[in-house]
């Protein structure tokens, strides 16, 4: 489904150019659950920004579903992003002055749905992530784990092909982390949503199908996890 071919990413810093991603070749199949690990600064977020159609200042090719996205306009790319990928972040990135309903509705606004349809879809998806009767609250009335569930609801409300999660359990205790991981595993199994999860936590990574280790901007090694 996803394929990076000889991808390199440089960033200009004054007169210097920093080579951040180096000769990345990566395939991710539909339905896979992939973890990405590596030290801070190794290029993980840079990599997922490319995968998530946020950044295309790279050299090399990104093929998604047989198409190449490098030549698309910014608007076309934003539309593809909204239809194709859901994002989940360490610090949830919810809008604190908006209700849960409004937060989870955002991708549907871009998709052009009317208010009633939006509300129904949001309520459905909040049930799927185990949140009931919370839609009129603002995020800071919820625990960290519940806020991450709201962020996951927002990520899945458009039924994306894949989810990119950047350290989704980094701000959560271990029990809550596992609850979030269970939700990701369920989405992967039941809906077939492809999962790409950046993590420092080996207990999270060991539950993925495959772990990609990044070091200094290179894929250092990959391991396939055997689950019983
Ligand atoms: N937009 C940018 N401009 C300049 N340098 C960047 C930019 N994004 C990332 N970098 C640099 O790329 C390196 C890798 O960053 P990042 O991908 O965020 O690492 P990680 O997510 O693994 O911690 C860092 O040295 C960072 O400073
Ligand atoms: Mg990062």
Question: Tell me: the pLDDT tens digits for 123-134?
Answer: 999 999 999 899
126 CB contacts (<8 Å, ≥6 apart)? Answer: 100, 104, 132, 134, 135, 150, 153
pLDDT at 72 over 90: no
Please give the distance of CA 115 from its chain centroid, rounded to a whole number: 26
pLDDT > 80? residue 14: yes
Helices (H), 2-97: 44-51, 74-84
Does the residue 116 lie in any domain?
yes
Report the share of the chain in percent with pLDDT over 70: 100
CATH number for the domain harbouring residue 37: 3.40.50.300
Task: Give yes or no for residue 43 CB within 6 A of ligand 1.
Answer: yes
Measured CA to CA, the distance from residue 196 to residue 31 in angstroms comes to: 10
Q: Is residue 115 part of a domain?
A: yes
pLDDT at position 110: 82
**Domain total of the chain:** 1
- Among 46, 52, 197, 213, say which to mutate for ligand 1: greatest number of ligand atoms within 8 Å of CB: 46
On whether residue 169 sits in a domain, the answer given is: yes
In a domain? residue 58 = no
Task: Report if residue 137 sits inside a domain.
Answer: yes
Most ligand 1 atoms within 8 A of CB, residue of 15, 45, 52, 220 to mutate = 45
Upper half-sphere CA count for residue 191 (Cβ side, 13 Å)? 19
Q: What local confidence, expressed as pLDDT, does residue 73 receive?
A: 85
Least confident window among 42-46, 78-82, 124-128: 78-82
Model pLDDT, residue 37:
98
- Please tell me if the CB atom of residue 42 comes closer than 6 angstroms to any atom of ligand 1: yes
Rounded to the nearest whole angstrom, what is the distance from the C-alpha of residue 11 to the centroid of ligand 1? 8
Nearest residue to 32 (alpha-carbon basis) of 198, 159, 196, 213 = 196
**Is 171 part of any domain?**
yes
């Amino acid at each position: 489904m996803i394929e990076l071919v000889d991808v390199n990413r440089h960033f200009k810093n004054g007169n210097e150019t920093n080579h951040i991603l180096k000769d990345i070749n990566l395939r991710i199949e539909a339905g896979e659950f992939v973890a990405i690990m590596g030290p801070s600064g190794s290029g993980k977020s840079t990599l997922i920004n490319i995968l998530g159609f946020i950044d295309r200042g790279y050299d090399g090719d990104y093929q998604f579903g047989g198409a190449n996205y490098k030549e698309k306009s910014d608007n076309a790319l934003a539309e593809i992003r909204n239809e194709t990928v859901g994002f989940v972040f360490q610090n949830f990135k919810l809008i604190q002055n908006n209700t849960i309903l409004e937060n989870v509705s955002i991708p549907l606004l871009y998709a052009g749905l009317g208010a009633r349809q939006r509300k129904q879809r949001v309520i459905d998806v909040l049930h799927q992530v185990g949140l009931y009767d919370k839609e009129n609250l603002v995020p800071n009335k919820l625990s960290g784990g519940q806020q991450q569930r709201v962020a996951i609801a927002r990520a899945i409300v458009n039924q994306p092909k894949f989810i990119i999660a950047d350290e989704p359990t980094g701000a959560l205790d271990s029990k809550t982390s596992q609850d979030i991981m269970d939700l990701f595993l369920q989405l992967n199994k039941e809906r077939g949503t492809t999962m790409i999860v950046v993590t420092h936590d080996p207990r999270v990574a060991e539950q993925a199908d495959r772990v990609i280790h990044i070091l200094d901007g290179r894929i250092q090694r990959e391991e396939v996890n055997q689950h019983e």
